[in-house]
Structure 1
Amino acid sequence: MCCPSATLSVWSSAWLNGAAAADNALDALAAWGEAHEVVAADAETADRLDLPVAGAVPVQPAQLLGALRGIGAADARLALPVPGDVRGLGGGGPFTEGALHAGEAALFPSAGCAVVPQPIAEGLLRWTVYPVPVGTAPEFVGIGEAEHLLTDAVRVSAGTLQQLDVARDRPGVRGELKARLRSAPKPGWPAPMPGRCLLVLQRADEVEAILALALSDEPGGALSASATAQRSEALRPLSDAVRTARCAAVTEAVRVLSGDADRQV
């Protein structure tokens, strides 16, 4: 499942560092939409990256890759902000608003820019490039720590799920989970993608599918407004752990694909 920004973060970093071909990076984005377009959020950013400003005729993602290389981008960081948690986005402003609305963004800390995807129409995804202060990036969490956080959150939430009787009267719950996972977009990853990162992303997808069922109002779930609010609050740590795990897996993948596997972070 993950998200378009994760795909862009990993593939663009791989391409910028010679670990992937541009055509493969562009093909990976196709999992998220049949067509993609790119614009800059403001005139200054448009001039800096040689991209059309929002409202003008957009360009294709290939030009975005070239623009990132042109301004010295080296690697990307994934951000998955939610209301109440916009850490690492460089403060308020249009970018924070755009990233929060989309629930995701790809930041390029060394280049002082960030990219936010937004569905515009069926099969069409628009990428908007925003300026951010150089060095802007989400807080670093190592992949090992993220794995532990996810494991702990699953264990703690298991009791909550049992108390809420999420699976009761839903004999087909396993089938529902499999269906959700099968129907989700499945973007490819660069060949050198670390196996540990793939496993963490896969586990995060599985936990997210469980969360989606747990938070639904199908039979067996808590249906009253107060019970629904209680359920959402109880499962929030698990949702946060999924976001942290995904960001950590992408960060680790980018680190390896960027040739920094031996660098201590």
Structure 2
Amino acid sequence: MPFPSATLAVWGSAWLHGVAAPDDALDALQVWAEIHEVVADDDGTATALDLPAKDERATQLAGLFAALRKAGATTARLVIPVPGDVRGLGGSMPLAQAGMHAGQVIVLPEANVGIVPDTIAEDVIRWTVFDLPTGGPAEFTPLGEADHGLSAAMREAAGTLASLDLASSRPGVRQEIKERAAVTARARWPIGMPQKALRVLQRASEVAAILEVAAEDDPGGALSSSAALRRAEALRPLADAVRVARCAAVDDAVRALSDHAGRH
């Protein structure tokens, strides 16, 4: 899955802290799509942030950046909601539903907004800005803890992945996994991006690519519903570890860039 929210969260925070130029942030997002549109989910949010509503002509990312600064945003965080776990979204059901559909949300607690990307056409991403009720974001997970959790989950899932034998049932699967993970590897990051956070992001993307291929692998619909359920249950801890690792890596990067700004 392409993950533009991580790019926008890190670059947006870097720009808000004055350690990245706006043009560099905009250029970094071109990896994910040539065209980026921005709208507000409801009229109240549109009015508060001076953004177009969903039924109006969309603005561009530069307009979003200006609106966030005007609203007092300082730090962006990545949230990856799933059914049963929508922590960090302030109890907003519209935001949670859109976030679960997209698999990613950026929250800016100081501005009380959440932002969700949606690929609406080839090379076009639409970012929708939602109201984020107060209530505090999810707790931070230390990067080392998240990295350890990802390693442990990979070890536990090794038997399940081996039993799927993707290489024999899906020719070229290793190259397919490599190509999927390479999409994230193309992402550009600001000067001062911590290398450990970068490594964890890349490793999480590689594991996510394996999970995507494993989820799609059922030649001819041969798996029974019970077998498919067992496989999904076995791989869920690995998917959860990927979620935690991605969010922790973005949090770590944002804090490092904020600290860098404070020293200058």
**Structure 2 length as normaliser, TM-score?**
0.91
The answer on whether the counterparts of 1:31 and 1:185 sit within 8 Å (CA) in structure 2 is: no
The answer on whether the counterparts of 1:95 and 1:130 sit within 8 Å (CA) in structure 2 is: yes
Q: CA deviation at 1:161?
A: 1.9
The answer on whether the counterparts of 1:197 and 1:250 sit within 8 Å (CA) in structure 2 is: yes
Q: Which residue of 2 aligns with 1:115?
A: 115
Secondary structure of 1:86 counterpart: coil
Q: CA deviation at 1:215?
A: 2.4
Distance, in Å, in 1 between the alignment partners of 2:170 and 2:131 is 48
The answer on whether the counterparts of 2:51 and 2:59 sit within 8 Å (CA) in structure 1 is: yes
Give the aligned CA root-mean-square deviation in angstroms. Answer: 2.3
**Cα distance 1:2–1:143, how it changes in 2: closer, same or farther (>3 A)?**
farther
Aligned length: 262
Amino acid in structure 2 at the alignment position of 1:110:
E
Distance, in Å, in 2 between the alignment partners of 1:78 and 1:207 is 18
Identity %: 56
Q: Which residue of 2 aligns with 1:152?
A: 152
Secondary structure of 1:188 counterpart: coil
Q: CA deviation at 1:99?
A: 1.3
Q: CA deviation at 1:118?
A: 1.2
**Cα distance 1:99–1:68, how it changes in 2: closer, same or farther (>3 A)?**
same
Q: CA deviation at 1:146?
A: 0.2
Distance, in Å, in 2 between the alignment partners of 1:60 and 1:171 is 41
Describe how 1:1-265 pairs up with structure 2 within 5 A: 3-134=3-134, 136-168=136-168, 172-183=172-183, 186-217=186-217, 223-259=223-259
Per-residue CA shift, 1:11-64, capped at 9, x if unaligned?
Answer: 000000011100010111111211111111122211221111221111111011
The answer on whether the counterparts of 2:37 and 2:125 sit within 8 Å (CA) in structure 1 is: yes
The answer on whether the counterparts of 1:38 and 1:61 sit within 8 Å (CA) in structure 2 is: yes
Distance, in Å, in 2 between the alignment partners of 1:132 and 1:21 is 27
Per-residue CA shift, 1:203-230, capped at 9, x if unaligned?
Answer: 11111122223223256x9733321221
Distance, in Å, in 2 between the alignment partners of 1:92 and 1:134 is 10
**Cα distance 1:118–1:175, how it changes in 2: closer, same or farther (>3 A)?**
closer
**Cα distance 1:117–1:15, how it changes in 2: closer, same or farther (>3 A)?**
same
**Cα distance 1:184–1:141, how it changes in 2: closer, same or farther (>3 A)?**
closer
The answer on whether the counterparts of 1:107 and 1:136 sit within 8 Å (CA) in structure 2 is: no
Unmatched runs of 5 consecutive residues or more in structure 2: none
**Cα distance 1:172–1:47, how it changes in 2: closer, same or farther (>3 A)?**
closer
Secondary structure of 1:205 counterpart: helix
200-209 or 172-181: which moved more? 172-181
More helix by share: 2
Distance, in Å, in 2 between the alignment partners of 1:126 and 1:43 is 17
**Structure 1 length as normaliser, TM-score?**
0.90
